[in-house]
Structures are given as structure tokens and as C-alpha cells.
Homo-oligomer: A and B are copies of this chain.
């Protein structure tokens, strides 16, 4: 039988914000960016499929809006009342689905979920083109996750309401990258400044495979928009060719300085930000890549380095790091809701 004397049952739960969760910092970010709604107006009624669609100004204003939601929750009204989200997850997901649904609900909207492909007309061989045509009439915005990277493009052909790519196979996961950037800007608002002093430039380590992980792919594209604040991005991987064809060239053209290493611990002492992920989705299954890389409390991290992780995590990120100041992955997960609220508000033109 279970311990009935669990101390957590004895008294009300209090919100116990850790310093590591960034509860205070959005305010600094809010102050660091001047409000300018024009870049967000350009997002109105737009589909969001690729990280390549965003400008630096859009990222800053999205982050600013997210910070406003996070610091001033009492200012959130219910502008999406009467609007319907179609939350279509043809590939398993909790985190991304719930994060989108939470964001939509907090803005007052209603939701129709599809969580099981076997329960849908897709099972009858219906094309995504036809599903898209149908959704034009049944919903106001679609979020789609599908293990087939072409799926979102097929649906886009017939859709006249906006669609957001919630992860398309190994290709992209642009809103995860938005959440990553939001965490980064909350941690170091100075990154927003156009001409950052070189001594303040940051080094980012990415433990993962840019050519095969959609989260890493999308993140690198967005980091390209802040290349003037980034001294170097170090890819930690044991793959011969961690990049996809042409990917490295594109990122370098965007201004990023890239380096590849196999040695995690040798690189860590220089890193201000360490992003780690070991899961790559392949079809309906996933593969662990570089799973021998592992961060731990004894890892040679800079004292003020932060760790980011898109979660869910495996052995590569043990719980012993949760209560250290390196833990910004919980803040990153928390911020994902506010960032998605900012994006949804902008697409639905309800942010004012």
C-alpha cells in the first residue's frame, strides 16, 4: 500500500519558483525591446511551416509579446472566443500538442483534437489535400504534426486558413525553435541589441545532429538571425557528416561561424549555452543519436552556462541537473506556451 503520509498531501501547494526558471527575467526582456507591431502584422493569416519564414524583427516582437503575456497574465483577455483550433497530431506528442492547446485555450478559443490517425478518415485513404479542404470550413487554424515531411505541404495546397507546422518528420519544428530563442533572449536580453560588444558575444554548443533532427535544424536557422551576437556555434556529434547537403553553407551564408567536434567535455568549458537532444524522428519511430553524450553535475560547465533541451529527455540529461542554475530547460518549456500564444495571436490578428 502507498504511503498515506506523503508530506505533499498535508498542505496546499505553493508555486515555488526556482531562480532557474526565469520567472523574473521576462521583465528585462520586455524592457530591452521597443514595441513595434508592424512585423507581427506581416504574420497575419500566414502559414508557419519553416523557420526560414521569420525575420529578426519578427522574432524580437514575438518574444516581446510572449514576455508581456508571461509577466502580465492578468492582461490576457479571451480574444479567440468563438475561434476553433484543429489540433491534428498524426504522430505521438504530448508536449507540443498540450502546449499549443494550452496557448489557444488561454486566449479563449475552442479546440478540436485529432490524436489518433486510426480514428480518422485518413484511415480510409483520404488525401491530406482533401482533409485540408474540409478543415477550411470546420476550423480557423490548423496545427499539424505528421511523420511525413511532405504532409504539411500537401495540406497547404488546399488550405485557406493558416496552418502551423508542429513537426514534419525530420524536416522542421519551427515553433520549438521559437521557444528556444525565447529562452535565450530571456536569459540574455542583450542579444537583442543590434551592435553587441564582441566581449559579450556568446558561444553555443549543440549536442545533436542538424541534418537529421528537426528541432536542431529549425533552431540553427533562427540563430542565423542573431549571428552578430554569436561568436561560434559548436556542433558536438560523432557523425561523419552531421549536416544535410547544403545546410552548413546556408547557415554560414547567414553569418554563423560553425565548428564540429566529437569531444563534448573538451568543448564545454567555453560554452555559454549548451543545447542537447538525442532523439531524431524517423517515420513513426525515433532513433537515438549520440546517446553516449551526457551532461551531468560533474560536467565542466561554465558556472553561468545554461542548458537547453527540447524535452522529452532521456539519460543524456539526468535529474541531478534540475536544481542547478544551469537548468533553463524548464524555463524553456514554460516559455513555450507564451511564445505560442504570441504566434497564435499574431496569425489571428488578435494581439492588440
Contact = CB atoms under 8 A, between A and B. Distances in A.
Contacts of A149: 2
A131 B130 CA distance: 34
A112 B101 contact: yes
A130 B314 CA distance: 10
B14 A137 contact: no
A61 B102 CA distance: 32
A75 interface: no
B13 A47 contact: yes
A117 to B, nearest CB: 10
Most buried by B among A11, A13, A123, A244: A13
A129 B319 contact: yes
B123 A102 contact: no
A9 B50 contact: yes
Contacts of A8: 47, 156-157
A65 to B, nearest CB: 17
A52 to B, nearest CB: 5
A46 B115 contact: no
Contacts of A279: 124
A259 interface: no
A119 interface: yes
Interface stretch (A88-96, A183-191, A261-269): A88-96
A303 interface: no
A336 to B, nearest CB: 8
B82 A49 contact: no
B12 A134 contact: no
Most buried by B among A98, A110, A172: A98
A99 interface: yes
Interface in A10-49: 11-16, 44-47, 49
Nearest to A101: B112
A321 interface: no
A49 B123 CA distance: 26
Contacts of A68: none
A13 B160 contact: yes
A311 interface: yes
Q: Ordered nearest first, which 4 A-B pairs have the shortest CB separation?
A: A126-B312, A12-B45, A94-B120, A94-B121
